[in-house]
Structure formats: structure tokens, C-alpha cells
Amino acid sequence: MKTTFYFYVNFPRFAEKKILIHRNTCGHCNSGQGKRGTGSNEKGFWAGPFKKYDHAAVALTKLIAKFGNLPETGDCGCI
């Protein structure tokens, strides 16, 4: 399986919850399907897949810039 990257944006708590970049093999990410295997829903969405980590980081930076650079961002422990 080829490594890709995702990040999850939580809608109701967008400015409160840190957004982390994940590998597709991460148990939290599960190739953009999340822990429960349901993927995006009314509470948020998985952005990706991105072929390279840098692509995910740039997309995330552009997204949060639209919202006053909130919330904080980072990497999941899987990175």
C-alpha cells in the first residue's frame, strides 16, 4: 500500500481542536475513514489523500489561513 496523508477537520469545534496530519495507515485515519470507518460526516471531514506530506501541510496551512490561523496544527504520532 502506498503511503498517503490526510487531516481531519472537526466542524463544531473547528477553532478548539488541533488539526493533525496523519498517514493513511494510522488507526485514527484509516485511509480517510476514521476509527469507526464512516469517513466524513456532519461533524467533520477528512481532507486527502495527499501523495506527499508537504502537499497535506500546504493545504492545511491555506485552510487555516482563511480562518485567522486557528486552530493549531501538528502531526499525529504516526508521522
Residue 66 structural domain = 5-75
Each residue's pLDDT tens digit, 20-32: 999 999 999 999 9
* 15-41: average pLDDT: 92
DSSP state of 72: -
Which three three-digit cell numbers place residue 61? 496551512
Which neighbouring-strand residues pair with 41? 44
- pTM score: 0.91
> What percentage of the chain has pLDDT greater than the value 90?
71
Burial of 59 (0-12, 13-18, 19+ CB in 10 A): middle
Q: Which residues contact 74 (CB under 8 A, 6 or more apart)?
A: 18, 19, 20, 21
Tell me what pLDDT residue 75 has: 97
Number of domains within the chain: 1
